[in-house]
Structure 1
Amino acid sequence: MIDRRTALAGLGLAAASPLAARAGGLANTPDNEPSEWVALWPGVPPGAPAVLPDERIVARPKSPVQPDRIMQAIANPRMAVFRPAEANGAAVLITPGGGYSHVVIDKEGFEMGRWLAARGITAFVLFYRLPHQGWTSGADTPLADAQRALRLIRHGASSYAIDPARLSVMGFSAGGHVAASLATRFAAQAYASVDAADALSARPDAAALIYPVIAMRAEIAHAGSRERLLGAAPSAAQSMAYSPDEAVPADAPPFFLLHAEDDAVVPVDNTLRMRAAIKARGLPVETHLYQHGGHGFGISRAAGKPASAWPEAWFAWARAAGMA
């Protein structure tokens, strides 16, 4: 872990060498953004291509008030940390969306991190590697980063003043697929152990899937996420293996599911299939469906719509489960 000054000072080297600052932050980071960054891997991440992806931050100026940035390539997977003024012992690993083509920084990452920290919850926003950018672990690459991130949080629980048994994951869109994969494949060996943290469980204690990509079957999959994860023509076996609804284990955590019925990007059937699979296992699940809302609304873009109530609905659910 490095502090904000070191993270920002290292950014001058990031364009030439993304690994020069191992837990580097983002250029022009405002004071209300994270002051701590945690690198996931010592040295170069496992299975790296000969030429590392060139990390690029792109601003999408859709709002004069709210920033909307994306990171188009990840060479240095890391977590941005949002610490509350008074930690209540709970923590959330946030996996933003981006269709496996990029990672959304603001509306599905930092906004949620600040919202959680304001309520006493320590938040970690994960910048996970993208599976189509040459990593030898291919479709397991985002899962490897998610497993490693959760284990690192658990390993450092005392330094964050959190309870290692109150650690949730929350994923949006394709990040919902990352979160669902972690919540169903936490026992899979997605990478070789590198240190003592990897002896810990990667199972989250609760999972929130927000308008998630779930199924990899062509008829209901988000086509871009499916192709970037599995390639242009995955086999039926591959599609099944990477559809979390097809392999919910008996010891999966409780789930909170959320979707808008008019989502034209990721069909609501993804959430409905996940709910059915969880129910079939007899596991606890709470589901919220909104008639209107579309896709990718996060917090700020849900303002003025019925879907704007979702963060408080999640908070009430999490608090009842001892996760907030």
Structure 2
Amino acid sequence: MIDRRHAILGTLAAGLAAPVLAQGKVGGGAAPADPVETIELWPGAAPGMPATPPVEKVEERSREPGYHNRTVTGIVRPRLLVFRPARANGSALLVIPGGGYSLIAMDHEGHAVARRLAAQGWTVFVLLYRLPGDGWAAGPDVALSDAQRAMRLIRARAATYGIRPERVGVLGFSAGGHLCGDLATRFAAPTYAPVDAADRLDARPAIAAPIYAVQSMTLPMAHAGSRALLIGKDASPTLERAHSTALNVGAQTPPCFLVHAEDDGAVDVGNTLEFRAALKAAKVPVETHLFAEGGHGFSLTLPDSKPASRWLDLFTVWAGTHGLGQGAASPQRGG
């Protein structure tokens, strides 16, 4: 017999693997519990398919009833999971979950954050991106290809979602934070051949928020697991430099919001400090929040007694000062 948990997981896996869900609006004023639609990133097969394509797998790691902690591996059909608010505020965020480039932590760094932001009027697109260890032809740039394509598709469909094309930002966690930083610094890098009219649009995010992010690919600061999967365990210094976000910061890098806990035992806080220093040197606006406690991967799971639990509120206020979100002000320049 199939018990209730396995039945639920089977339904979830089928839903994640489905093509495009019917578009629909969320009513009532509450945030959607789950994405209301899915957008495939690529027409047909994703470019650079490996000879042996990966097999997508959704795993539920939670043992608590009613609480999901799903991970996704083997992404072969990269896509956006769309959380539409009851009343759009005109701004959108591409949310990129982490997982060390070995998996995607879909719930606590994806769905949970999307629900909170959608309740505030943001239109949120959670990215399920291809993983570099799966043998795609683009190699270390495969996830960046998906992020660039995602930004362009969101802008191409801005009218559909009631958002303004210039008000699309990106927020990412851990290895997803590396991808967030990669997009912020290498948005114009030619990582794939254009496939349609959407690829004529700009992939530069209006703002970027790498949260407890992997940034450097140089040991010992680099997160060893993410580095090995992205550029290889024995990567050359040239390859390390090419994929270290701080070394790609330029004048066109968008304003950034950085968060890290100093007791992070997985990703050295030096990653964030190095990225911040590069932003300051390039005169890119940056706000940095370092917390004494929080560890790694906390997302929205910390108790209210921990100061780091307030990072998302700080982010939304900051985003408003740069022209995004509820009560957005005119974008600021400098410092």
TM-score by length of 2: 0.88
Deviations 1:133-171 (A, max 9, x none): 010000000000000000000000000100000000000
Report the Cα distance in structure 2 between the residues aligned to 1:321 and 1:62, rounded to whole angstroms: 40
**Distance in structure 1 (CA, Å) of the matches to 2:62 and 2:69:** 6
The answer for the alignment partner of 1:207 in structure 2 is: 208
Partner of residue 70, structure 1: 71
Matched residue of 1:300: which SS? coil
Q: Deviations over 1:30-55 (max 9, x none)?
A: x7211200000000000001222110
Question: Which position in structure 1 is the counterpart of 2:173?
Answer: 172
Q: 128-137 vs 61-70, which deviates more?
A: 61-70
How many Å apart are 1:76 and its aligned residue?
A: 0.6
* Distance (Å, rounded) in 1 between the aligned partners of 2:152 and 2:15: 29
Distance 2:284 2:64 in 1: 40
- Percent of pairs identical after alignment? 50
Q: Which runs of 5+ in 2 are unaligned?
A: 1-9, 23-31, 326-335
Partner Cα distance (2:14, 2:315) in 1? 39
Instruction: Give the structure 2 partner of residue 245 of structure 1.
Output: 246
Which residue number in structure 1 is paired with residue 182 of structure 2?
A: 181
Map of 1:73-112 to 2, 5 A cutoff? 73-112=74-113
| Counterpart contact for 1:23–1:78, Cα < 8 Å | no
Deviations 1:256-298 (A, max 9, x none): 0000000000000000000000000011000000000000011
The one-character-per-residue Cα deviations of 1:76-105 (angstroms, maximum 9, x if unpaired) are: 100000001000100000010000000111
Amino acid across the alignment from 2:298:
F
**Which stretch has the larger CA shift, 157-166 or 302-311?**
302-311
Do 2:21 and 2:37's aligned partners in 1 also have CA atoms closer than 8 Å?
Answer: no
Q: 1:305 to 1:64 in 2, by over 3 A?
A: farther
CA offset at residue 197 of structure 1? 0.2
CA RMSD in angstroms comes to 1.9
- Which 4+ runs in 1 deviate beyond 6 A? 8-11
Question: What is the aligned length?
Answer: 307
Structure 2 counterparts to residues 32-47 of structure 1, below 5 A: 32-47=33-48
* 1:306, distance to aligned residue in structure 2 (A): 1.4
Q: Is it true that 1:219 corresponds to 2:220 in the alignment?
A: yes
Equivalences for 1:1-324 in 2 at 5 Å? 21-23=18-20, 32-61=33-62, 63-64=64-65, 66-301=67-302, 303-324=304-325
CA spacing shift, 1:133–1:321, aligned 2, 3 Å: same
Cα distance in 1, alignment partners of residues 309 and 15 from structure 2: 40
CA positional deviation for 1:218: 1.0
The amino acid across from 1:222 in the alignment is H
**Normalised by the size of structure 1, how large is the TM-score?**
0.91
Cα 1:23–1:302 change in 2 (3 A) is: farther
SS at match of 1:209: strand
CA contact (8 A) 2:302 2:308 kept: no
Q: Which amino acid in the other structure matches residue 44 of structure 2?
A: G
Amino acid at match of 1:312: D
> Kindly tell me: are residues 154 and 13 of structure 1, through their superposed partners in 2, closer, same or farther at Cα, counting changes over 3 Å?
closer
Structure 1 gap ranges (5+): 1-7, 26-30
Aligned partner of 1:28 in structure 2 is none
The letter for the 2-side match of 1:292 is E
Output the CA distance in 2 between the equivalents of 1:119 and 1:201.
Answer: 26
Contact persistence 1:256–1:287 (CA under 8 A): yes
Native 8 Å contact 2:60 2:69 kept in 1: yes
What letter corresponds to residue 206 of structure 1 in structure 2?
Answer: I
CA distances 1:160-212 after superposition (whole Å, capped 9, x unpaired): 10000000000000000000000000010010000000000000000001000
Q: Which residue number corresponds to residue 6 of structure 2? A: none
Pick closer, same or farther for the CA change 1:63–1:305 going to 2, 3 Å: farther
SS of corresponding position for 1:169: strand
How far apart, in 1, do the equivalents of 2:104 and 2:227 lie? 16
Contact 1:10 1:24 in 2 (8 A): no
Task: Report if the CA contact (8 A) 1:293-1:302 is conserved.
Answer: no
